[in-house]
Amino acid sequence: MLTYDPVSDLRHYPIAMSRFGLNPQGAPLYRIVFSPSRRYLVVGDVAEWRVLHKNLGPVWIMERWLPAELFAKCTRDEWIRDMLVLGPWPESGEYELCHVFDTAPPADASIETLITWIEAGRNIPFRDTLQFQREDAKRELLSTRAKAEDMIRNLLPSFGVNPMVGFKGGRGTKTAPLLRSAEELGLPTRPGLLANGARRNNPVTRMIETAA
């Protein structure tokens, strides 16, 4: 798709962004563009332009300009070794995604506030950011475990299978008594003998006698 022009074919949102600063080439430091029109050049046996943020869908995005080394996060020589995947070295720098307008269009968002937050975040050391992410993940894990434990407790009866010590009254009729002896079960205590008090019409007793 070599007919794509990264300048004329890129769709910009109709809002002035130069008031937020300019890069060394005189272009806005920040820009808002339509995601499907944002493409990158893939060089190889066949050169073509591909959508950069294909997974985002038809949404507006905000990008910030970065110098080549800061955008690439590697040296020029390291980039060129992988040029078949990465494309040409960004001599004039490149724009990097910094915000997606997925819940509201740019007209309904506070662009000034977003850029203030982004610039403040750029001044936070990577170590602090990593530590915050780890602590946030730990808090989320503990919260998930607490919710799971609460759900399990809600499904259990008030007293479980434990005796209700100090509770005046007995269990409800829905709680079955625990049978612990042959006599309570109505089973013979010795071959040929019925348990004390067991009735001959007891189905368990008849089943045992028939099997014998």
The mean pLDDT of the chain is: 77
The residues pairing with 40 across neighbouring beta strands, listed in sequence order, are 50
The pLDDT of residue 3: 82
pLDDT per residue as tens digits for the range 57-68: 999 999 999 999
How far is the C-alpha of 188 from the C-alpha of 198, rounded, in Å? 8
DSSP string, 49-90: EEETTGGG-S-EEEEEEE-HHHHHTS-HHHHHHTHHHH-S--
Helix (H, G, I), strand (E, B) or coil at 119: helix
Q: What is the mean pLDDT of residues 126-151?
A: 72
Q: CA 92, CA 67: separation in Å to the nearest integer?
A: 7
Report the half-sphere exposure of 140 (CA within 13 A, side-chain side): 6
* Percent with pLDDT over 90 in the chain: 33
pLDDT-derived band at 82, boundaries 50, 70, 90: confident
Q: Give mean pLDDT, residues 179-189.
A: 56
- 0.95 exceeded by pTM: no
Which pLDDT belongs to residue 198? Answer: 46
Identify the three-state secondary structure at position 28.
Answer: strand
The per-residue pLDDT for 163 is: 57
Which of 23-32, 101-110, 119-128 has the lowest average pLDDT? 119-128
Question: How does DSSP classify residue 97?
Answer: E
